[in-house]
Amino acid sequence: MNKHNLIAVLDFGAQYSMLIARRVRECKVYCEVFPYDISIEELQRKNVKGIIISGGPASVYDVGAPKPDPKLWNSGIPVLGICYGLQLMAKELGGDVKEGKKREYGKADLALDDQSTIFAGLDSIMQTWMSHGDTVAGLPVGFKQLAHTDNTTYAAIGDPERKLFGVQFHPEVVHTPKGIEIIKNFVYIVCDCQPTWTTANFIDQQVQEIRKKVGDNKVLLALSGGVDSTTVAALIHKAIGSQLICMFIDQGFMRKNEGDKIDELFTGRYKVNFLNINARTRFFEKLKGVTDPEEKRKIIGENFIRTFEEEAKKLGEIPYLAQGTLYPDVIESAVSGSTTGKVAKKIKTHHNVGGLPEKMGFKLLEPLRLLFKDEVRTLGKDLGVPEDIVSRQPFPGPGLAIRIIGEVTEERVKILQEVDDIVVTEIKAAGYYKKIWQSFAVLLPIRTVGVMGDKRTYLNTIAIRAVTSTDAMTADWARLPYDLLEKMSTRIVNEVLEVNRVVYDISSKPPATIEWE
């Protein structure tokens, strides 16, 4: 990475730590998230030009409250403390932090008392988002008040000489509209960084690194056809050409004609060594009579692994396995510092090719492991990946199998493929595909009575699901226009003979999940 322009986010357990890193990268400055207790020596070895201390759920008065390396404050590296980070900075440097009797949560108008450094070029009053209990009541020596709100005297403080700054609000969230300008001021003015983090630079660097690491060896990539694995394929192919072998395992649960489209893309446009493994019979047999959602997922994952292993052995000696692992996967899988001072448990372990076991004799190649999803989409565009893949909505690993409630059969998959194709086509035609996070159809294990052509029918029910979200952690049901819903319903009932009823899911997450299984 571009180590001469590295900003480090120290994670104190904030729900927004990854978002801070994303915001810095939006400034075209490279940023990584590190455990809160990483040593200053390690950060200096990485040539860090600035440090952002995240917020967190702890209070500075908690027993065992998490603290950074004590040498941080006198290291000479510029620091921006956010929320808990501000309180920690004030308390550690001799200021007074008062335990909050009442939380301040929500929008607050910030009045600027100093419009230099981190507030340079900003209006004297700006909207911010507060979320805190404790409050700074007295400043450390050398600090001055930079901004205040009606409820918070020291809403922003700073010691410009030592390049130490703190804000009580969250500049990284959308509820602080000009927050990105504060982050830009910190990384450009205070840290003297240059906007050199671009996908073009990333491609050049990764191409060199892949060639150096792989040499004359072959690389095997399990391809799903989604944006991550397709972008990985395009990047590695650019680096080593015919040394890349892509394997697509068709388990029978893909969207309509998706296997053919993927085959055409990689054999036609990219001229890649491409293996299309038809494993449909195996998967349908294994799922016969299975209705439990979790059991479905386990069977599909297990058989994906077994199929991959069997097919990989036929190819002879291939030392490298490529995966589309992204930065959020790395952070969630990694063991990092927690707000209790103990080692945090793994949230989940990600293997982006369907849960491949580590003991397969492969060395991993994960060129996207330091990118966020939006960066991967940009990278894909720069590498010539088709727009319909780059902008593709998330699609679950088990495919349509978990959008069929109850037993998965070839007949039920075919029904859902036809319905899904109508839903996606109409959502795109109406201009909503890129506006919403996900939109899809679910085949329910319910038959209902209907009337078609003056005859009684007793056919399948379809649920349409469409949600808005920014990260899939929470989601709200999409308020699609009635005429669009009507058009989808009419087409589904008229064109898919096995369906006579369509319903719309208006559940949010939580309490519901995005997928039905």
Confidence of residue 339 (pLDDT cuts 50, 70, 90): very low
Active site residues: 83, 170, 172
Q: State yes or no: pLDDT of 468 exceeds 70.
A: yes
CA distances from 383 to 236, 237, 239, 258, 379 (A): 11, 10, 12, 21, 6
pLDDT digits (tens, 9 = 90+) for 355-414: 455 556 678 899 998 888 888 999 999 998 988 888 888 888 889 999 999 999 999 999
Q: What is the pLDDT of residue 222?
A: 86
Look at residue 285 and give its three-state secondary structure: helix
Q: What is the pLDDT of residue 313?
A: 87
* Number of helices (H), then strands (E), in the chain: 14, 20
Q: How far apart, in whole angstroms, are the C-alpha atoms of residue 84 and residue 294?
A: 39
Confidence of residue 5 (pLDDT cuts 50, 70, 90): confident
Least confident of 239-243, 323-327, 347-351, 429-433: 347-351
Q: Which residues of 99-119 are buried (b: 16+ CB within 10 A; e: fewer)?
A: eeeeebeeebebebbbeebbb
Mean pLDDT of 486-497: 97
Q: State yes or no: pLDDT of 267 exceeds 80.
A: yes
Q: What is the pLDDT of residue 341?
A: 35
Q: What is the pLDDT of residue 2?
A: 46
Q: State yes or no: pLDDT of 344 exceeds 70.
A: no
DSSP tag of 220? E
Q: State yes or no: pLDDT of 434 exceeds 60.
A: yes
Sorted by sequence, the CB contacts under 8 Å of residue 87 that are 6+ apart come out as: 60, 81, 97, 132, 134, 135, 136, 166
HSE on the CB side for 153, CA within 13 Å?
Answer: 9
- Exposed / middle / buried, residue 285 (Cβ in 10 Å: 0-12, 13-18, 19+): exposed
Q: How far apart, in whole angstroms, are the C-alpha atoms of residue 187 and residue 279?
A: 51
pTM comes to 0.73
Confidence of residue 30 (pLDDT cuts 50, 70, 90): very high
Percent of the chain's residues with pLDDT above 90 = 61
HSE on the CB side for 75, CA within 13 Å?
Answer: 22
**The two structure tokens encoding residue 460:** 């399948």
Are 185 and 121 contacting, i.e. CB atoms less than 8 angstroms apart?
yes
pLDDT digits (tens, 9 = 90+) for 175-214: 899 999 999 999 999 999 999 888 888 999 899 999 999 9
β-pair type (79-82, 96-98) = unpaired
Tell me which range, 261-265, 342-346, 478-482, is most confidently predicted by mean pLDDT.
478-482
The DSSP line for 199-216 is: HHHHHHHHHHHHHHHHTT
Mean pLDDT of 308-316: 87
β-pair type (135-138, 96-98) = antiparallel
Angle at 196 between CA 195 and CA 202, to 5 degrees: 140
Are 262 and 248 contacting, i.e. CB atoms less than 8 angstroms apart?
yes
Confidence of residue 102 (pLDDT cuts 50, 70, 90): low
Q: What is the pLDDT of residue 442?
A: 97
Q: What is the pLDDT of residue 357?
A: 53
Tell me which range, 143-147, 319-323, 335-339, 455-459, is most confidently predicted by mean pLDDT.
143-147
Q: State yes or no: pLDDT of 112 exceeds 50.
A: yes
Are 26 and 180 contacting, i.e. CB atoms less than 8 angstroms apart?
yes
339 compared with 96, residue with greater pLDDT: 96
Q: State yes or no: pLDDT of 351 exceeds 60.
A: no
Q: State yes or no: pLDDT of 349 exceeds 50.
A: no
